[in-house]
Structures are given as C-alpha cells and as structure tokens.
C-alpha cells in the first residue's frame, strides 16, 4: 500500500510511528513545503531571541534520523498544489505527481490575514514557521519599538520574549483581555500584570487599522485614532485551518476539513488530522477544529491505524492550553467562561482556580493559574465525563489530589477506572 502524508506536523510524525508499529512494508511518503524535519512551533518565539537554536534536538519533535529509521520518503521543500481523488495522485509545485492508496492531510493552519493597510511594508512580520522566525530574528537589529498585533498564545509570548531582549513592546488586542479564548477576566489579569511588569505596554479593546511608512513601517494607526511610532510589527492574530487543497478536491469542508469518528473525510481514501481537521469536541458536543498539539498527535495516530484498516474510533478531545509568561503559568481546559454552568473558584496568594460544572455534575472546563500540578487529574475527569457530585466541594482545597479518591473509590468500587 502507498500512504502519503501532506504536512510534516505532530499529526504526521505520530501517524508515521503508528504505521510502522503495525506495518513495516507499505511505502510511506511525507510531503512538506518546508525544508526541515518536524519542529516545535511553540518554540518559535524562543528561536527569535536565541534561547533555542535550530542545531538543538529539543527544537525538533524527533531526531534527524527519524525518517530514515522509519523508511519514510521525506519530500521536503515541495508544496502540494492539487489533490486528484479520482486518479489518487497529488501534484507538487515542480509538476511531479505522487500516487497514493491512502492520503492523510496533516497540513495544519495558515496565518489569518487581518484587514490592515500597509502589511507589505518592511519590518512587518508573522511568526508561524521557521522562515518567519529567521526573518524577525535578523531584523531585530533594526527594531527599537515593536507593536505586536494580537494577544493570543503566540502574540503574548512574542511580546514577552522581545521585552526580554530590551525591545520596547506595545501589545494591541481587540478583546478586553489577553488570551481571550483560553482565559477568563480574572485569569487574564494575572497575565496583564506580568506583561506590564516585564515592560510591555498593553492596549486592549482596540485594533490596528493601518501601518504607515515609506519603505519600512514607521507608525501604527489604531481604530481608536491613536498613533504609535514603531519600526517593527508582528502580526499574530491567529491561524485558520489550511482547507484550500481539500476544498479544491471536492472534500466536505466547514471551518476545517470535516471528518467522521475514524478521522476519515468525505472521500474514503483520504483522512485528516491535526489543526486542519474538524473533529469531535467532547465538551461542546459538536465537531470543530481544536488546534492543540496533544489532540493532533492522537488524531494522527488514529488516522494511521484506520488507514491500515483497524477501525479505531477517535473519542474526541477538547481545548487545552498552557503557557508561562514571566513568572506566571497557567493551564486551561474546555469551557473557561459561562453564565449557565455552576462555577467554583477562588483566588489567594497569587493563585487562581476555577471549575465549571454542568447540571449533570460533569466537569466541563477549568483554569489553574500558578498551581498547575493537578491538571492531568482534571483532564481525566473532563475526558471521561466523570461524575464529580461527591467530590467537587473539595476542588478548592489547596491539597486536592488523587488521595481524595482512595476511600471514596473503594466505597464506589470504581478503583479500576483510574488505574
């Protein structure tokens, strides 16, 4: 069998490993428009300021001999321009055609392009791949004041890292708080204070309208009318699933490439995994793209096993986000803000916890700030739709942990479920 993977991502490498665990014979090819082995996108801000280099193994998900050991034909530096489902081929930008029996789309997302005039000016950067990181790193010598547009995970981290390099940084966010989808107001306030402590100027409830300058950006114009002198801009307003190939091939797409419980697309020979896929969210009970690494890994593995005919169901996932800004760390999962769910929360001694529970006593989401050690336990509860009615009142105890379960689980005869 000929298996082709489009994209060299976390989903791709986990798919390769799953294939080789079960099948040593089928040919496997991975195609990527980048010339590098699979690397850590969350470390791109660290790469920009030199905290990590491309010569370090920790920047990559697998060692340099990964493709060779797994007998993978790595077609790197080539872009897929078309999928032909009828002939079961893909076309590359050098006119070469590659045949497949099973195809996995693991091509991730592409940077969102906001409606801002002047994005073509010098000094304007994005940070979604190594090329963008290299460009920004080389340009740092020309940047004294950088405006970061968008305070999501990447934008907030870039702002922190540039401030660490003594660059004057202004972070502009349309929402009323940073990290809007993944934190509530109280949780985000911890990050606000930390960014300000690091010297970042934070502008909320505003957005960038235009960038002015002759050749290089010189000024940033906000929708509020405020003007900021700047010689560098990083646009980090998020990414969207890279669905163009799938759409052109006639596959069913929505916000992402729509897949069934087996990560199979509307074409039975084509699968999708990772940021490009629209798969089941167990918290919301619907299908939607969830661009996080652990789910991409699981989807990649599930796709691979199903391409081999093993009928393995993807049980679904939910949003999980984690980041450290300066001295503040947080982990959030599932729903983080709601007027309909029961909420348990406390804030003291620089620590914040919040838990959201539905009417059936299922944990639907949580936030941990500066005490994140028990995150895995709450992840298990959400994933398994665990009934927390008998233990939720203890969630706010500072020593809450698995030890609370021992006696109760013996009584309820459920010990085997957490082994």
Q: What is the pLDDT of residues 178-219, one digit of tens each?
A: 999 899 999 999 999 999 999 999 999 999 999 999 999 999
Domain span holding position 83 = 2-41+59-110+240-307
pLDDT at site 409:
59
Q: What is the pLDDT of residues 269-317, one digit of tens each?
A: 999 999 999 999 999 999 999 999 999 999 999 999 999 999 999 999 9
Rounded to whole angstroms, how far apart are CA atoms 116 and 253? 27
Q: What is the pLDDT of residues 123-166, one digit of tens each?
A: 999 999 999 999 999 999 999 999 999 999 999 999 999 999 99
Indicate whether 255 and 345 sit together in one domain.
Answer: no
Indicate whether 244 and 225 sit together in one domain.
Answer: no
Cβ-based neighbours of 112, under 8 Å, separated by 6 or more: 237, 238, 239, 240
Indicate whether 12 and 66 sit together in one domain.
Answer: yes
pLDDT at site 413:
42
- Structure confidence at residue 414 as a pLDDT band (50, 70, 90): very low
The number of distinct structural domains making up the chain is: 3
In sequence order, what DSSP letters do the residues of 96-149 get, joined into one string?
A: -EEE-SEEEE---EEE---S-BTTTSBTEE--SSHHHHHHHHHHGGG-SEEEEE
Q: What is the dihedral of CA 298, 250, 76, 262, to 10 degrees?
A: 20
Indicate if the pLDDT at residue 25 is higher than 90: yes
Structure tokens of 374? Answer: 């028990």
Indicate whether 226 and 250 sit together in one domain.
Answer: no
Residue 321 lies in a domain: no
Residue 255 lies in a domain: yes
Residue 324 lies in a domain: no
Indicate whether 6 and 72 sit together in one domain.
Answer: yes
Residue 116 lies in a domain: no
Indicate if the pLDDT at residue 370 is higher than 70: yes
Q: Are the C-beta atoms of residues 232 and 125 closer than 8 Å to each other?
A: yes
Rounded to whole angstroms, how far apart are CA atoms 66 and 28? 13
Q: What proportion of the chain, given as a percentage, has pLDDT over 70?
A: 97
pLDDT at site 113:
85
Indicate whether 230 and 249 sit together in one domain.
Answer: no
Rounded to whole angstroms, how far apart are CA atoms 36 and 30? 12
Entry pTM: 0.93
- Structure confidence at residue 415 as a pLDDT band (50, 70, 90): very low
Q: Are the C-beta atoms of residues 405 and 414 closer than 8 Å to each other?
A: no
Q: What is the dihedral of CA 261, 265, 269, 275, to 10 degrees?
A: -90
- Structure confidence at residue 419 as a pLDDT band (50, 70, 90): very low
| CATH number of the domain bearing residue 129 | 3.50.50.60
Residue 46 lies in a domain: no
Rounded to whole angstroms, how far apart are CA atoms 344 and 219? 45
- Residues 388-399 have a mean pLDDT of 89
Indicate whether 132 and 230 sit together in one domain.
Answer: yes
Residue 315 lies in a domain: no
pLDDT at site 213:
96
Indicate whether 102 and 246 sit together in one domain.
Answer: yes
């Amino acid at each position: 069998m000929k298996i082709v993977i489009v994209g060299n991502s976390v989903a791709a490498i986990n798919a390769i490993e799953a294939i080789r665990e079960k099948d040593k014979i089928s040919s496997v090819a991975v195609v990527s428009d980048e010339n590098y082995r699979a690397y850590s996108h969350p470390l791109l801000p660290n790469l920009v300021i030199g905290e990590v280099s491309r010569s370090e193994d920790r920047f990559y998900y697998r060692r340099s001999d990964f493709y060779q050991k797994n007998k993978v034909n790595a077609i790197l530096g080539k872009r897929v321009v078309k999928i032909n489902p009828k002939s079961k081929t893909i076309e590359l930008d050098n006119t070469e055609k590659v045949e497949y029996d099973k195809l996995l789309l693991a091509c991730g997302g592409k940077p969102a392009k906001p409606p801002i005039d002047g994005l073509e000016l010098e000094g304007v950067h994005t940070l979604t791949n190594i090329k963008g990181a290299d460009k920004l790193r080389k340009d740092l010598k020309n940047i004294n004041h950088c405006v970061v547009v968008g305070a999501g995970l990447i934008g907030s981290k870039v702002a922190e890292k540039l401030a660490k390099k003594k660059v004057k940084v202004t972070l502009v966010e349309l929402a009323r708080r940073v990290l809007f989808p993944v934190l509530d107001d109280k949780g985000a306030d911890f990050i606000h204070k930390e960014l300000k402590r690091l010297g970042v100027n934070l502008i909320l409830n505003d957005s960038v309208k235009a960038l002015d300058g002759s050749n290089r950006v010189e000024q940033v114009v906000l929708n509020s009318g405020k003007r900021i002198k700047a010689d560098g801009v990083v646009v980090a307003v998020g990414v969207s699933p890279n669905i163009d190939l799938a759409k052109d091939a006639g596959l069913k797409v929505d916000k992402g490439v729509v897949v069934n419980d087996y990560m199979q697309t509307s074409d039975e020979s084509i699968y999708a995994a990772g940021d490009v896929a629209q798969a089941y969210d167990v918290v919301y009970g619907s299908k939607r793209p969830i661009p996080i690494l652990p789910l991409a890994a699981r989807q990649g593995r599930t796709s691979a096993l199903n391409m081999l005919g093993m009928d393995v169901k993807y049980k679904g996932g939910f949003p999980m986000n984690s980041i450290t800004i300066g001295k503040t760390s947080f982990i959030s999962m599932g729903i983080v803000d709601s007027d309909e769910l029961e909420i348990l929360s406390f804030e003291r001694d620089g620590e914040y916890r919040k838990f959201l529970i539905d009417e059936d006593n299922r944990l639907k989401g949580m936030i941990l700030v500066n005490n994140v050690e028990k995150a895995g336990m709450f992840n298990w509860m959400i994933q398994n739709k665990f009934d927390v009615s008998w233990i939720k009142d203890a969630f706010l105890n500072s020593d809450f942990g698995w030890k609370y379960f021992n006696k109760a689980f013996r009584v309820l005869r459920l010990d085997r479920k957490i082994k």
